[in-house]
Amino acid sequence: MGKQIVSFKGVTKGFDNQTVVDNISLDIYGGEFLTLLGPSGCGKTTMLRMIAGLESCDEGQVIINGVVSNDIPAAERDVNTVFQSYALFPHMTVLQNIAFGLSLKGRPEAEILEKVEEALAMVKLAGFGERRIQRLSGGQQQRVAIARAIVNEPLILLLDEPLSALDHKLRKEMRLELRQLHRKLGITFIFVTHDQEEALTMSDRIVVMNNGKIEQTGEPKEIYEEPANLFVADFIGESNFFDGRVTGTDGHWMDILVEDVAMTVRNRRGFFVNQDIRVLLRPEDMVIQRASDDCDQPHLKGRVEELIYKGNTVDLVIRLNSGKRIATTEFFNEDAEEIFYAQNEAVCISWIQGWEVVLPNE
């Protein structure tokens, strides 16, 4: 990993007396693909705009490539943005759009043309230079927006929810292409999205934000498997939550009571006896057994309420005897036994010990 290319130091920003970014410190490293992920209004786009220079911070410092950049206008920053709406200039051709930045810098025309051609080829739009913007499809406009930004050879490319206006299939294609582009260019990509799947599939590192604060920073696997708190656990992926209480601790293990069933789980956070906890389990981590079979491990009891066939998985909605509903996912496996259940069939629910995430119940 390279050295820090962007640093936020205690950055705060508000609009109309509402704090949007609240005392955030964050280091972004050279060459990484970093995603700012969070629900709308969490401050992720504001963070991006502060790097671009389109927004100034009220407090703290934004350091870009070692220089405190708070007062450097957008035009003078080595940073370019791909906007959510693409923001292509409607009165210019594709070529004029892409050449805009270079021609403002007064580069010679031959060089501009060469670079524009290169950029067009990079986004697979070679030969589209003379087209008018209005005559391009959404996906093509998206590519022009990317070309217009990267042609300036910025240190950092900022992408503000660039895929949100595309249809599902195109979005999946573009994810892959953006990853490849990132590898080819070797520059830092900072990507903003509210789509967790996008974040998980594309990023080297994810910063999960909520209410102007950073909830967790980490690699996709870490964020998914070890969510730092309930917000992250709930925002990323689907989760089942169980309220419980610690009844005894023993080194790395502890005894807990969940839904009136005694279980033993890992103690990773120094939980203490009588502490209220919340156990979090992904649907695919649940183990389902027919109640008619012998359920050996400690387990919860319930009945199958709904069975949803999804092709490669079978999802169950199970109502526990306590009345609580949970979701489970089972993958088809060549040699797995039958995983279809009858409506209302009694089942035992447990999970592989150690796969659970236990968080304090605040």
Q: Which of 33, 100, 242, 351 binds another protein (CB under 8 A)?
A: 100
User: Cα-flanking dihedrals φ and ψ of residue 70, to 5°?
Assistant: -45, -40
User: Cα-flanking dihedrals φ and ψ of residue 185, to 5°?
Assistant: -80, -30
Q: Shortest distance, CB of residue 321 to another protein, whole angstroms?
A: 43
User: How buried is residue 96: exposed, middle or buried, by Cβ count under 10 Å (0-12/13-18/19+)?
Assistant: middle
Would you say 34 and 191 are in contact if contact means Cβ atoms under 8 Å apart? yes
Would you say 93 and 129 are in contact if contact means Cβ atoms under 8 Å apart? yes
Q: Which of 2, 58, 89, 354 binds another protein (CB under 8 A)?
A: 89
- Closest CB to another protein among residues 151, 327: 151
What stretch of H or E contains 326?
A: strand 325-331
| 81 lies in the binding site for another protein (CB under 8 A) | yes
- Closest CB to another protein among residues 103, 361: 103
- x/- site string to another protein, residues 41 to 60, per CB under 8 A? --------x--xxx------
- Closest CB to another protein among residues 148, 278: 148
Instruction: Give the interface segment with another protein, choosing from 100-108, 239-247, 283-291, 353-361 (CB under 8 A).
Output: 100-108
Q: Which of 141, 152, 240, 267 binds another protein (CB under 8 A)?
A: 152
| 75 lies in the binding site for another protein (CB under 8 A) | yes
Q: Which of 25, 85, 137, 322 binds another protein (CB under 8 A)?
A: 85
- What are the CA-CA distances from residue 339 to residues 254, 326, 345, 347, 348 (Å)? 32, 17, 12, 12, 13
Instruction: Give the interface segment with another protein, choosing from 22-30, 68-76, 184-192, 210-218 (CB under 8 A).
Output: 68-76
Would you say 224 and 200 are in contact if contact means Cβ atoms under 8 Å apart? yes
| 17 lies in the binding site for another protein (CB under 8 A) | no
Q: Which of 3, 15, 39, 105 binds another protein (CB under 8 A)?
A: 105
The answer for residues whose C-beta is within 8 angstroms of residue 349's C-beta and 6 or more apart is 286, 287, 288, 299, 300, 301, 302, 318, 320, 326, 328
Q: Which residues of 83-94 are buried (b: 16+ CB within 10 A; e: fewer)?
A: bbebebeeeebb
Dist CA 46 CA 34 (whole Å):
15
| 91 lies in the binding site for another protein (CB under 8 A) | yes
Q: Shortest distance, CB of residue 323 to another protein, whole angstroms?
A: 36
Q: Which of 35, 46, 69, 80 binds another protein (CB under 8 A)?
A: 80
| 248 lies in the binding site for another protein (CB under 8 A) | no
- Closest CB to another protein among residues 105, 124: 105
| 244 lies in the binding site for another protein (CB under 8 A) | no
Dist CA 147 CA 154 (whole Å):
12
Closest alpha carbon to 62 in 156, 160, 203, 149: 156
Contacting positions for another protein (CB under 8 A): 49, 52-54, 73-76, 79-81, 83-85, 87-91, 100-101, 104-105, 148-149, 152
